[in-house]
């Protein structure tokens, strides 16, 4: 590839999710030049950085380094607002793990700040850019199930087994809707476009838990949660499609993901939207069983960091990035709209919108992917 100006990138956050981001951003995406991993605990930052041959830095060092163009924020959702704001004020493009913030007002404030600073702000999940969701979108865009009428998303977890005292999943923004349901909502938004109205229920039906996992060092301890463990809702998309969601944290583990889109000529069954790949199944009129649709796109393995690379390419190419702040804010408004509807009993009308951008170019399958083809994919 010629005339490639790589984007110097630093990661803030050294938790569990940082490993796959660093692995992919360093080894899979030529546009990125990952130079450091940092945070407020320099010892933890250096330990994580040393595993990937990069520099461990304090967060303040990263923000003050004029050569670092982009920051990837992998901290818990409760810390997002402050870190993103500091990074934008320091003149850095920012890509953040989901959700951008639990608060819509804060999310919109950050969006406005990025625009004033002429900077990009992108947000996970980027799984909608993976092979499965892109293939499903292609089928629907090309009339594979006729006119889309309805959709349904459901996810289950047994958080009594998964909770740990002090973990972000016990805090606001870490509940079943904001932390897990966001994958399902984002996948549907990427396929169907923005939502017009939402109505539903969100509840913390069990705020006290005893850690049930015998392998946990906290086994038997009691903890408190400060977020929703049930979220049930109906929504109407601006294109006239109706949808339902059922997110339940008080049932069984492992989870059994459901993501289904119903059309006048067929039904499309999508895999877990927390993953990049998985089977896409199509059942047309007259079929007794669904058939599997082969992936038409690359990135079927765990490709976290794909959204970072796509945003870096968008910056270099002067076009909008697909994991956009507009879509991220809309997803946050939907989640908060469900909460508000639950509290007031009133259907909520969405005020935010986003542009449904084109899908990734088709035909670049995983076994053909090479770093030299990266630009064509983006």
pLDDT tens profile 306-334 = 999 999 999 999 999 999 999 999 999 99
Residue 24 burial by Cβ neighbours in a 10 Å radius (0-12, 13-18, 19+): buried
Q: Residue 122 and residue 323: Cα distance in Å, rounded? A: 6
Residue 2 pLDDT exceeds 50 = no
Q: What contacts 198, CB < 8 A, 6 or more positions away?
A: 233, 234, 235, 334, 337, 338, 341, 347, 348, 350
Q: Residue 106 and residue 171: Cα distance in Å, rounded? A: 17
Q: Answer whether 201's CB lies under 8 Å from 342's CB.
A: yes
pLDDT tens profile 263-284 = 999 999 999 999 999 999 999 9
End-to-end CA distance of the chain: 14
**CB count in 10 Å sphere of residue 307:** 25
Which has the closest alpha carbon to 10: 53, 77, 57, 52?
57
pLDDT of residue 1: 42
Which of the four pLDDT bands, split at 50, 70 and 90, describes residue 373? low
pLDDT of residue 372: 53
pLDDT of residue 241: 98
Q: Residue 26 and residue 8: Cα distance in Å, rounded? A: 11
Half-sphere exposure of 36 (CA within 13 A, CB side): 24
Tokens 């919109």 correspond to what residue? 108
Q: Residue 176 and residue 70: Cα distance in Å, rounded? A: 30
To which H or E segment does residue 195 belong?
strand 195-203
- What separation in angstroms does the CA of 39 have from each of 22, 79, 119, 165? 15, 11, 22, 22
Residue 150 pLDDT exceeds 60 = yes
**Local structure of 287: helix, strand or coil:** coil
Which of the four pLDDT bands, split at 50, 70 and 90, describes residue 365? low
Q: Residue 357 and residue 122: Cα distance in Å, rounded? A: 14
Question: With b meaning 16 or more CB within 10 Å and e meaning fewer, what string describes 172-193?
Answer: ebbbbbbbbbbbbbbbbbbbbb
**Percent of the chain predicted with pLDDT > 70:** 96
């Amino acid at each position: 590839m010629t005339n490639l100006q790589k984007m110097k990138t630093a990661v803030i956050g050294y938790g569990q999710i940082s490993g796959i981001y660093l692995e992919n951003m360093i080894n899979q995406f030529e546009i990125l030049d990952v130079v450091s991993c940092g945070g407020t605990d320099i010892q933890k930052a250096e330990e994580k950085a040393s595993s990937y041959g990069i520099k461990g830095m304090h967060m303040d060092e990263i923000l003050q380094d004029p050569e670092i163009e982009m920051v990837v924020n992998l901290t818990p959702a409760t810390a997002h607002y402050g870190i993103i704001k500091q990074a934008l004020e320091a003149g850095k493009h920012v890509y953040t793990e989901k959700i951008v913030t639990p608060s819509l007002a804060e999310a919109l404030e950050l969006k406005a700040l990025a625009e004033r600073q002429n900077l990009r702000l992108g947000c996970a999940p980027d799984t909608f850019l993976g092979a499965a969701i892109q293939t499903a979108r292609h089928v629907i865009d090309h009339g594979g199930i006729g006119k889309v009428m309805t959709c349904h998303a459901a996810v289950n977890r047994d958080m009594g087994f998964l909770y740990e005292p002090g973990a972000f999943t016990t805090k606001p923004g870490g509940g079943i809707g904001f932390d897990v349901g966001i994958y399902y909502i984002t996948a549907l938004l990427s396929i169907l476009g923005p939502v017009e109205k939402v109505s539903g229920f969100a509840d913390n039906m069990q705020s006290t838990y005893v850690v049930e996992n015998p392998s946990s060092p906290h086994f038997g301890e009691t903890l408190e949660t400060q977020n929703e463990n049930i979220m049930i809702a109906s929504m109407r998309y601006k294109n006239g499609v109706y949808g339902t969601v059922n997110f339940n944290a008080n049932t069984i583990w492992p989870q059994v993901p459901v993501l289904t889109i119903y059309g006048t000529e067929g039904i499309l069954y999508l895999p877990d939207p927390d993953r990049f790949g998985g089977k896409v199944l199509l059942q047309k009129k007259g079929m007794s069983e669904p058939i599997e649709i082969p992936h038409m796109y690359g990135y079927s393995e765990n490709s976290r960091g794909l959204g970072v690379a796509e945003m870096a390419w968008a910056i270099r190419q002067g076009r909008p990035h697909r994991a956009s702040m507009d879509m991220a804010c809309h997803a946050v408004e939907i989640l908060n709209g469900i909460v508000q509807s639950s509290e007031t009993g009133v259907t909520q009308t969405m005020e935010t919108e986003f542009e449904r951008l084109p899908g990734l170019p088709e035909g670049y399958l995983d076994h053909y992917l090479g770093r030299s083809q990266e630009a064509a994919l983006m």
